[in-house]
Amino acid sequence: MIMKKCALITGASGGIGSEIALRLAKDGFAIAACYCSDESGIRKLEKELCEIGAVYKLYKADVSDYNRIKEVFADAADFFGGVSVLVNNAGIAQQKLFTDITQEEFDRITAVNFKGVFNCCQCAVPFMVNRKSGKIINISSMWGVCGASCETVYSATKAAVIGLTKALARELAPSNIQVNCVAPGAIDTKMNNNLSDEDKSAFAQEIPMGRFGTAQEIAGVVSFLASRDSDYVTAQVITADGGLT
């Protein structure tokens, strides 16, 4: 068994998820890196984790599959001794007119973005309650705060994550478990590759800071929320969007 606190990060193969995994590894955590399908992304993260001498294990899992997530947490308990920090980062986006959204698309986005967070929290909480300590950090979006045109279902699921965060934080506070949320704004990752350079430039001009954020900057916020410095911070939504909302 690894004698280090473990941080489990979902969506670890993506731009934000991989930076969170690397930052928490540098902070001294063992890393349980979960991903769904991005093999090239997870191999890149694995190489970088090896380079910094991190203790880690990779898990291929769809967060919407409750039984698979139970298996991941059971294995993490055996391998790491349990998950001390959970970062619910996995998510999928969609840009589409509301009237064009299919039932299948609605079900899939909801299953990953909201049910996936519920699944991971439900698997993590018993261990944390038993230990009387733990931190859950949910990655929402600024669109979960204010809503985005043509991203109705995405915005709704990210708003649901905020609601879950605030309610669960109050429920778990007596057990010394902090539950918080990070709501990133426009971040320079491949999730925004659908935007043209012209669209990106126009969007950046709307941001008071005049630029997109970086995945490293989001990882820095998560690092704070995972640390002892945030022990009296719970039920909060930290919006990191350059002042846009």
- Reported as half-sphere exposure (CB side, CA atoms, 13 A), residue 226 has a value of 31
Residue 232 a catalytic site member? no
Report the C-alpha gap between 197 and 104 in whole angstroms: 31
How crowded is the C-beta side of 225, counted as CA atoms within 13 Å?
Answer: 29
Q: How far apart are CA 161 and CA 216, in angstroms?
A: 22
Cα dihedral: 224, 225, 229, 231 (round 10): 180
d(CA 203, CA 223): 27
Query: Alpha-carbon Rg of the chain, whole angstroms?
Result: 17
Which one is catalytic: 35, 56, 59, 154?
Answer: 154
Q: Which residues are catalytic?
A: 154
